[in-house]
Structure formats: C-alpha cells, structure tokens
C-alpha cells in the first residue's frame, strides 16, 4: 500500500507525517491548512494503526509525568511519550517513540474497535497534547521558545501580547482582527534568526480560530492585564525576563533545555522593548498601542 504523506511547517520547522492510511492533520479547521508546506522535512514521523509497539515502560525510565495526561520515558536512547485518558482506561491510547534528537519517530494509536476502518481517515496522530509537547522538545534544542501569547502583524509592527489564562489574549486578537493579521491568540513561537527575534504563528489556538503560519520580526512585547484605563510601563532586565519566563512552555524534563530557555529569555528582553500593559477591552487600545514608544 502506498504511504500517504502530509508535510507542514511551523516556525520554519518542517514536519513530514506519513501513514499507510489517509491522515488529515488539519481536518478540524480549514484555517490551519495555511501550515501545509512543500519544504524539505526537518522532522519525519510515521504513524501506524497495526497495533501498539512491544516496548516496556518501567517506572525507572520515566523522566516526566504531566499529571496523568502524558508521560515521557527514556528507553534505550529513545524518547517515548505515553498518552493516557480516563476514557480509554489505564493503558496508553497512543505511544510516540522518537530518536534522541526528536528528528525521526513513529506514532502508534491503539485500536478500540474491531470493524474494518481501512478506508477511513486516520485520526490526527498529533492531536493535543502530543503536537505541542513535541514542539517544545524541538525548540528546547537551541531553536526557540513557545509562549502563551497573542501575536499580531499590522504590516509595520510585530506585537506580542503575552499572558496566561483570562489575561486578555483572545480579547486582544478580536480587537485587532480588522487592522492586522492575527498569528495566533494563545501560542506563539519566538526564535532568534537573521540577527534579531522573530515571532511565528502556530496551529494551536485558543477561542479565536484565525491563525497564520507567517513569521514577522518582533518589535515589542506586552505583558497583559485588564485595567480601568489603558496604560503601559516599560520593563527591563530581570523583571522583564521573569515575566516572559512565567509565560513560556518550559521543557521541565530537559536540564539543558531549561538553561537555553533562561538564556534566550534574557537575551530577548535585552534586545526587544518590553512593557506591562493594562488595557480596556475596546478598540481604543489599538490606537493607544501604536503610540507607545
């Protein structure tokens, strides 16, 4: 049987996903098809539906446990993710095994039905949380960081609005939607390339479904909060780096990755102006921000 293959690109990292059955990585939303690519793959993954691998996952090999949702093991030089859901019992419903650099891997999904599904689309093998965890692993190897943030490109400026839940990221995306390209309202990748920092949209959005795969130079960073009046205050040094770090997806299982993330955050706040931003959720904030110097 001829293998089906989908190639997509996020933050200048190209993924190739192959399978013996048709698989649509972005079947949920057409907007995500902006990430489909014809580039040369950096990461190659084959997804399988012919049974789970014969791999043992002893407790001693587990290096990280995300509260029972997924765990990472190091087994015979491989990085092995085990995904678990109460809906499917105590056994993993999906196992993903990658080499030491996360550049080649295989994803296995448990079959829960006995009927013939050979002609059906294979469910997204990179469904949450695997795609985002894999991205964090790849970025932590000296490529960049992923942050909880909304990113917008108004054609002249690249603004990053960083914040955790309820801080206003989706609200900001909606306020800018008629005046800028929204990269994403919840997850943005930051990389230092060509002598400066760039931000990239990702497919993994929050409530605002508009996304873009583009990358744009990062001009300003704003740490969001709600307020009774629009106000911005410059933040520098350790204060700014700590605020950025608190909004990063941290590779808690990788000591070298943590060091890289700390260093990159420090470098970013030394090169890119950072501000705390209290804002009123109406369109006046757009004009206000364009006047921040």
Write the pLDDT tens digit of every residue in 78-100: 999 999 998 888 889 999 999 99
Return the H-helix or E-strand segment holding 259.
Answer: helix 255-271
DSSP bridge partners of 192: 197
* Whole-angstrom distance, CA of residue 179 vs CA of residue 199: 18
Mark whether 254 and 192 lie in a shared domain.
yes
Segment 112-150, tens digit of pLDDT? 543 444 445 567 889 999 999 999 999 999 999 999 999
Mark whether 94 and 149 lie in a shared domain.
no
The mean pLDDT value of the chain amounts to 92
Domain boundary among 113, 139, 165: 139
* Whole-angstrom distance, CA of residue 190 vs CA of residue 183: 12
Mark whether 154 and 270 lie in a shared domain.
yes
Segment 225-249, tens digit of pLDDT? 999 999 999 999 999 999 999 999 9
| Longest CA pairwise span in the chain (Å) | 63
Mark whether 249 and 173 lie in a shared domain.
yes
How many domains would you assign to the chain?
2
Segment 16-31, tens digit of pLDDT? 999 987 777 765 566 6
Let me know: does 200 contact 11? Beta carbons within 8 Å.
yes
Measured N-to-C along each axis, helices 255-271 and 237-245 cross at an angle, to the nearest 10 degrees, of 130
* Residue range of the domain that includes 176: 145-290
* Whole-angstrom distance, CA of residue 273 vs CA of residue 293: 9
Mark whether 135 and 149 lie in a shared domain.
no
Write b or e for each residue in 156-185: b if 16 or more Cβ atoms lie within 10 A of its Cβ, otherwise e.
Answer: eebbbbbbeeebbbbbbbbbbeeebbbbbb
For residue 273, is pLDDT > 90?
A: yes
């Amino acid at each position: 049987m001829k293998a089906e293959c989908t190639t997509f690109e996020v933050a200048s990292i190209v993924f190739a996903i192959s399978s013996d059955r048709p698989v649509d990585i972005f079947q949920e939303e057409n907007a995500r098809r902006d990430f489909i690519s014809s580039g040369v793959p950096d990461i190659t993954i084959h997804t399988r539906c012919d049974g789970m691998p014969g791999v043992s996952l002893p407790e001693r090999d587990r290096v990280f446990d995300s509260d029972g949702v997924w765990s990472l093991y190091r087994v015979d030089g491989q990085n092995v993710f085990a995904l678990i859901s109460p809906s499917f019992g105590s056994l993993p419903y999906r196992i993903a095994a990658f080499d030491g650099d996360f550049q080649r891997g295989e994803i296995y999904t448990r079959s829960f039905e006995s009927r013939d599904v050979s002609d059906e689309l294979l469910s997204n093998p990179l469904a949450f949380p695997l795609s985002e965890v894999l991205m964090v692993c790849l970025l932590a190897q000296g490529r960049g960081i992923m942050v909880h943030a909304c990113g917008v490109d108004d054609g002249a400026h690249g603004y990053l609005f960083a914040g955790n839940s309820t801080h206003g990221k989706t609200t900001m995306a909606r306020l800018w939607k008629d005046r800028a390209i929204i990269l994403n309202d919840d997850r943005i990748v930051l990389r230092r390339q060509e002598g400066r920092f760039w931000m990239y949209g990702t497919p993994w959005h929050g409530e605002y479904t508009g996304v873009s795969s583009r990358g744009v130079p990062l001009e300003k960073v704003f740490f969001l909060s709600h307020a009774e009046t629009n106000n911005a205050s410059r933040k520098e040094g350790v204060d700014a780096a700590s605020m950025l770090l608190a909004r990063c997806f941290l590779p808690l299982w990788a000591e070298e990755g943590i060091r890289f993330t700390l260093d990159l955050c420090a470098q970013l706040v030394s090169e890119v102006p950072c501000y705390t931003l209290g804002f009123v959720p109406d369109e006046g904030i757009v004009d206000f921000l364009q006047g921040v110097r």
